[in-house]
Amino acid sequence: MAASLKETTKVSNVKSVQHVQAEESANELDLTELLYHVWDHKWLVVILAALGAIVMAVYSQFFAVKMYSAQSVLYIGNNDGSIVSLSDLQIGSSLTKDYISVFNMWEVHAKVQQKMKVLSPNKNYSEGTLRSTFSISNPSNTRLLYIKITAPDPVEAAKIANAYAEAGKEIISEKMNVGTDLTILSEAREGVRSLVSPNKTKNIILGFAVGVLLSLVIITIQFLSDTKIKTENDIRKYVNLPVLAVVPVMRKEGEKRGKSVHKHREKEE
């Protein structure tokens, strides 16, 4: 009796393990079949990728706000015309950080606002708007200050860049008692249209990539949600029953495997 009970328990445990293994096998993703499924629906990948690229191209060309940049350059040098010494170079390099801080003060933005009322009387620039268009940088080991303005109008961008150069120079001359001076080395040119955004090429590539990704997601969801039994492996996975016989599908010479598998599925359905 005890031996019979042990044998029954053993058989029950084996069946339980086989059932768990069958469930795990059913939940496994067949990557080969998924690849064939993607290949069967390659038209969807092509259509969505092309559609994404076209949408981003149209958006970049007709709907995206175009932004242009203008730049003026200032030079930190001696204001007495004397020969520049090593100490002068060191002082000038250290002063660049101070000058950058001055350019970010509200007084500079307010003075630029006043200048723009004269330069562009039809435009109404606030200090916040001007501040958002402005950036200043100093290349390492130089005494140059680059003032960059980014705005929707290239002409206005040049005007604002030159206004910032003048305003910063005036305030530094008034407020700071130092032995160096700012010289406007290069003014922003109003006739130059330097487009900084949108980047049409980048947007088209992004749209193409999003289209491909979206199509793959759709195809994968469709593949995973398809619970129809098509092959003997599906019978083993989902029904957990042995397969007695399989009728093979003979492929014609030169016929691709993906096409044959597709026909095989249709016949079994």
Q: Which string of DSSP letters, residue by residue, matches 126-161?
A: -HHHHHHHEEEE--TT--EEEEEEEES-HHHHHHHH
Neighbours of 248 (CB within 10 A): 6
- Per-residue pLDDT of 126-143, as tens digits, reads 999 999 999 999 988 788
- Per-residue pLDDT of 148-189, as tens digits, reads 999 999 999 999 999 999 999 999 888 876 656 788 999 998
Tokens 């398809």 belong to: 226
Amino acid 215: pLDDT: 95
Amino acid 76: pLDDT: 83
* Band of pLDDT at residue 236, cut at 50, 70 and 90: low
- CA-based radius of gyration for the chain: 36
Is 8's pLDDT higher than 70? Answer: no
The HSE-up count of residue 220 (CA atoms within 13 Å, CB side) is 9
Least confident of 140-144, 198-202, 208-212, 260-264: 260-264
Tokens 């003979």 belong to: 250
b/e sequence 154-169, b meaning 16+ C-beta within 10 Å: bebbbbbbbbbbbbbb
- Per-residue pLDDT of 94-127, as tens digits, reads 678 888 999 999 999 999 999 999 999 999 999 9
Report percent pLDDT > 70 for the chain. Answer: 68
- DSSP element (H, E) containing 21: helix 2-27
Is residue 188 within 8 A of residue 162, CB to CB? The reply is yes
3-state DSSP assignment of residue 68: strand
Is residue 194 within 8 A of residue 23, CB to CB? The reply is no
* Band of pLDDT at residue 253, cut at 50, 70 and 90: low
CA distance to 27, 62, 120, 182, 248, per residue, from 186 (Å): 68, 33, 21, 12, 80
Specify the length of the chain in residues. Answer: 269
pTM for this prediction: 0.66
Amino acid 265: pLDDT: 47
Mean pLDDT of the chain: 79
Is 238's pLDDT higher than 60? Answer: yes
Neighbours of 224 (CB within 10 A): 11
CA distance to 16, 235, 239, 264, per residue, from 243 (Å): 20, 8, 10, 17
Domains of the chain with bracketed CATH = 27-63+205-226 (no CATH), 67-197 (3.30.1890.10), 228-269 (no CATH)
C-alpha to C-alpha distance for 173 and 35, rounded to whole angstroms: 70
